[in-house]
Homo-oligomer: A and B are copies of this chain.
């Protein structure tokens, strides 16, 4: 039982690490969301879970079970919540769920949590859940609980962008089901990607506003917002390594995280 995964530990071993050794907890936050015809619907879970596990081994942390369902997909970042297969929580439900779980880890004695987000649309709702959890923990007399919120793509540096998108980078906005996520999945779970089905298409273009109910024609028929055709496992490894390294480094130097 030398796993970093909390759910794979007996509670006595978890207690030893979380309470006695004061190890922090990383929580991967994902979604069940369509990512094109060539790839499974779980990259938003698989990628931050793998990154979290690697970071946890680097920094001596524990990884909580991932949130498998996330906030509603938005058309310009995830194709939209009208898509078949995408299954989302109401924003408030996600806020409450995160709040509840953060309070539970605090009850155990954990004082440092990092949210490892893999689904763009989760961010405001888990931020809200974090703020509400901290408020309630203070009401309960716990004043030293700290949360770091991380989206792994924010650790892909300019160098890596040039390696991964040698031609031109059209922006994170349209990377849904594109080269970034597909490469990472080819590296992490090749069996869940079938490049023969990767759509070849121009990046999606959207007007500078959104419309509700969503206009289905705005989303490319594939569900991808840009073509994943140039994705490779090698690019995935580069991306994985740079984000793991970046997050490991950030946690190692951030003073708020260093105080136990």
* A contacts, CB < 8 Å to B: 1, 6-12, 14-15, 18-19, 32, 34-42, 45, 64-69, 71-72, 74, 81, 83-93, 95-97, 100-101, 104-105, 108-109, 121, 123-125, 127-128, 130-132, 134-136, 138-140, 146-151, 154-155, 192, 194, 197, 207-213, 215, 223, 246, 250, 254, 256-257
Indicate how many identical chains form the complex: 6
- Residue among A100, A194, A250 with the most chain B CB within 10 A? A100
B92 with A209: CB separation less than 8 A? no
Most central of A8, A37, A212 by chain B CB within 10 Å: A212
Closest CB in chain B relative to A254 CB, distance in Å:
7
Q: How far is the CB of A257 from chain B (nearest CB, A)?
A: 8
Which of B83, B97, B108, B150 contacts A11, CB < 8 Å? Answer: B83
Please give, as numbers and ranges, the residues of chain B lying within 8 Å of A138 by CB-CB distance: 140
The reply to whether B127 and A210 form a contact with Cβ atoms under 8 Å apart is yes
* Complex contacts, A100 vs chain B, CB 8 Å: 69, 88-90, 93
Q: Given the known A-B contacts A1-B194, A149-B212, are A89 and B97 also in contact in the complex, defined by CB atoms under 8 Å?
A: yes
B contact residues around A10 at 8 Å (CB): 34-41, 194, 197
A92–B95 touching, CB < 8 Å: yes
Q: Is the CB of A69 within 8 A of B65?
A: yes
Min C-beta distance of A250 to chain B, whole Å: 6
Bound CA span A215–B34, Å: 35
- In the complex the two chains form, is A84's CB within 8 Å of B148's CB? no
* Docked CA distance A12–B86 (Å): 11
Q: Which 7 residue pairs across A and B have the least CB separation, nearest first?
A: A11-B85, A11-B34, A65-B68, A7-B42, A87-B104, A154-B208, A124-B124
Tell whether, in the assembled complex, residue A41 and residue B68 are in contact, meaning their CB atoms are under 8 Å apart. Answer: no
